[in-house]
């Protein structure tokens, strides 16, 4: 069977062997959590609790702060110690609710229902997803319910579940598709019903044949759901790339993917949707991949949101003394950290520890116009040109060269033999162009 794909892209080493066959382990409930009020793209939540309040697991502690936003919930039961700003993964600070565990992990009511999808109307499904605080678990963290409420002039005909997991090292989606294939399909069916569409796809890179087989098994009997095998290539899991590969449609330049008639969700998101729809349980935990040569015991861990990353690493067996770089979530688009004192968020898919010698610190040198960035760019941009224009602060020209179409996948920077910091300066250029456009 040939696998679908897009034009451009790269094939970095996969580094998935250490964890792809390891079943997901559940981490014990931590003694304390720091639940950030921003774990999504959009407006921060307004805290609903104050120091001294008692909370139950699953209780809403942050109210939606705007149309594009998602509520957050207590991930353990216990006492709110304080509500305060602290470091989060992005390198910035955010308001976090600190909860001290009472050791009982008592759940709020309404989290062990047994609802059936057949009994729910589309509006009810959307409300459930919204109230459960579900956001895109693939990394971007876009509130899921917003995708289910497209403007009137947009006609959605398909839902794609993104099981590409094209980032090296990550295997959390892979394991979920193998271990929770029924929930993946249930979640997809709920999303399809919410959007009133009849075609659903689960798109999986062909380096995960076991996941493809399991999900195929789980879709038996659902004629309107297809499992699509994708070529293993980065950034195959990019929204525009996966739509191109699965449906042969290009998302119009400057538009959201719904303008191609498609809503794309990550498979992990679908599992969260399935759980919320059936049991009423909000999103309070997710699977992380702990990997890299610096990780003492690479593994896939189911972790409560708000757990400190230092606690996760300690539980997972620690990292080597020779660790030289810690990257959250994954190496192509993730953030390098200078400490581990930050809480796990909904959008963190893993942590990778690199050893000394694995960190490329070669200095930047002049562009030799090899054209590899141009060849590899999945959006068919001229990264080296955008890099130069951005450094020269010629932002208006950069806009004409479509700098805002860049998806910041980092492919150009991966292939650059001159080690140009392409994506870095292009990202700065994008911010400046957006600022110019706002006036």
- Closest approach of Cβ 314 to other proteins, in Å? 14
- Closest approach of Cβ 305 to other proteins, in Å? 23
393 lies in the binding site for other proteins (CB under 8 A): no
368 lies in the binding site for other proteins (CB under 8 A): yes
End-to-end CA distance of the chain: 51
152 lies in the binding site for other proteins (CB under 8 A): no
Nearer to other proteins, 86 or 421 (CB): 421
- Residue 27 carries which DSSP code? P
Determine the interface stretch with other proteins among 134-142, 183-191, 218-226, 417-425 (rule: CB under 8 A). Answer: 417-425
107 lies in the binding site for other proteins (CB under 8 A): no
- Closest approach of Cβ 400 to other proteins, in Å? 11
Residue of the chain from 21, 369, 393, 434 that contacts other proteins (CB under 8 A):
369
Pairing between β-strand 285-291 and β-strand 46-47 as defined by DSSP bridges: unpaired
Nearer to other proteins, 182 or 340 (CB): 340
Nearer to other proteins, 196 or 339 (CB): 339
Residue 403 to residues 21, 236, 264, Cα–Cα distance (Å)? 40, 20, 23
Dihedral, CA of residue 274, residue 278, residue 280 and residue 282, to nearest 10: -20
The values of phi and psi at residue 225, to 5°, are -115, 130
SS3 413: helix
- Residue 358 carries which DSSP code? S
109 lies in the binding site for other proteins (CB under 8 A): no
416 lies in the binding site for other proteins (CB under 8 A): yes
Residue among 292, 333, 331 nearest 313 (CA): 292
The contact mask relative to other proteins for 283-322 (x = CB under 8 A, - = no) is ------------------------------------x-x-
400 lies in the binding site for other proteins (CB under 8 A): no
Pairing between β-strand 199-205 and β-strand 225-230 as defined by DSSP bridges: parallel
- Closest approach of Cβ 392 to other proteins, in Å? 14
Beta-carbon count within 10 A of 59 CB: 22
366 lies in the binding site for other proteins (CB under 8 A): yes
Residue 179 to residues 89, 134, 300, 370, Cα–Cα distance (Å)? 28, 20, 12, 44
Residue 290 to residues 19, 123, 186, 233, Cα–Cα distance (Å)? 8, 37, 27, 22
57 lies in the binding site for other proteins (CB under 8 A): no
Determine the interface stretch with other proteins among 56-64, 104-112, 141-149, 423-431 (rule: CB under 8 A). Answer: 423-431
* CA–CA dist 208, 213 (Å, integer): 9
Pairing between β-strand 93-101 and β-strand 32-36 as defined by DSSP bridges: antiparallel
361 lies in the binding site for other proteins (CB under 8 A): yes
Q: Taking CB under 8 A as the criterion, which residues in 208-247 touch other proteins?
A: 240, 244
Q: Taking CB under 8 A as the criterion, which residues in 325-354 touch other proteins?
A: 325-327, 331-339, 352, 354
Residue 202, beta-bridge partner list: 161, 227
Helix-helix angle 181-195:122-131, to 10 degrees: 120
357 lies in the binding site for other proteins (CB under 8 A): no
397 lies in the binding site for other proteins (CB under 8 A): no
Nearer to other proteins, 215 or 415 (CB): 415
Beta strands in 32-103 (DSSP E): 32-36, 46-47, 54-55, 60-63, 72-73, 78-87, 93-101
Nearer to other proteins, 98 or 165 (CB): 165
394 lies in the binding site for other proteins (CB under 8 A): no
Residues at the site binding other proteins, with contacts judged by CB under 8 A:
12-13, 168, 240, 244, 250-255, 259, 319, 321, 323-327, 331-339, 352, 354, 359-362, 365-371, 374-375, 377-382, 384, 402, 405, 410, 413-419, 421, 423-424, 427
């Amino acid at each position: 069977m040939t696998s679908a794909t897009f034009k451009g892209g790269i094939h970095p080493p996969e580094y998935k062997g250490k964890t792809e066959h390891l079943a997901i382990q559940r981490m014990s409930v931590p003694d304390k959590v720091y639940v950030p009020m921003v774990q999504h793209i959009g407006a921060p939540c307004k805290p609903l609790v104050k120091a001294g309040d008692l909370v139950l697991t699953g209780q809403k502690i942050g109210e939606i702060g705007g149309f594009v936003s998602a509520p957050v919930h207590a991930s353990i039961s216990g006492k709110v110690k304080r509500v305060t700003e602290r470091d989060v993964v992005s390198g910035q600070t955010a308001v976090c609710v600190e909860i001290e565990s009472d050791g009982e992990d008592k759940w709020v009511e309404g989290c062990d229902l047994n609802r059936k999808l057949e009994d729910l109307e589309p509006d009810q499904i959307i409300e459930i997803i919204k109230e459960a605080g579900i956001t895109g678990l693939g990394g971007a963290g876009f509130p899921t319910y917003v995708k289910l409420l497209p403007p009137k002039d947009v006609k959605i005909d398909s839902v794609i579940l993104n099981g590409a997991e094209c980032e090296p090292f990550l295997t959390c989606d892979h394991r979920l598709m193998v271990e929770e294939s029924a929930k993946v399909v249930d979640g997809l069916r709920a999303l399809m019903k919410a959007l009133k569409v009849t075609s659903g796809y689960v798109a999986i890179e062909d380096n995960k044949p076991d996941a493809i087989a399991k999900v195929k098994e789980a879709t038996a009997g659902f004629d309107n759901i297809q499992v699509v095998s994708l070529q293993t290539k980065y950034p195959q899991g990019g929204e525009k790339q996966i739509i191109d590969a699965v449906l042969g449609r290009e998302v119009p330049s400057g538009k959201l993917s719904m303008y191609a008639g498609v809503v794309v969700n990550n498979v992990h998101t679908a599992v969260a949707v399935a759980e919320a729809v059936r049991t009423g349980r909000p999103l309070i935990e997710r699977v992380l991949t702990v990997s890299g040569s610096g990780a003492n015991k690479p593994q896939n861990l189911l972790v409560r949101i708000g757990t400190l990353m230092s606690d996760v690493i300690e539980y997972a067996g620690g990292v080597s003394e020779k660790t030289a770089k810690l990257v959250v979530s994954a190496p192509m688009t993730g953030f390098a950290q200078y400490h581990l004192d930050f809480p796990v968020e909904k959008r963190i898919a893993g942590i990778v520890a690199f050893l000394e010698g694995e960190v490329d610190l070669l200095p930047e040198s002049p562009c030799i116009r090899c054209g590899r960035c141009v060849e590899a760019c999945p959006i068919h941009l001229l990264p080296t040109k955008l890099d130069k224009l951005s450094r020269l602060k010629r932002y208006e020209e950069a806009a004409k060269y479509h700098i805002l179409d860049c998806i910041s996948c980092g492919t150009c920077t991966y292939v650059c033999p001159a080690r140009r910091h392409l994506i870095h300066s292009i990202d700065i250029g994008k911010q400046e162009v957006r600022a110019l456009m706002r006036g």
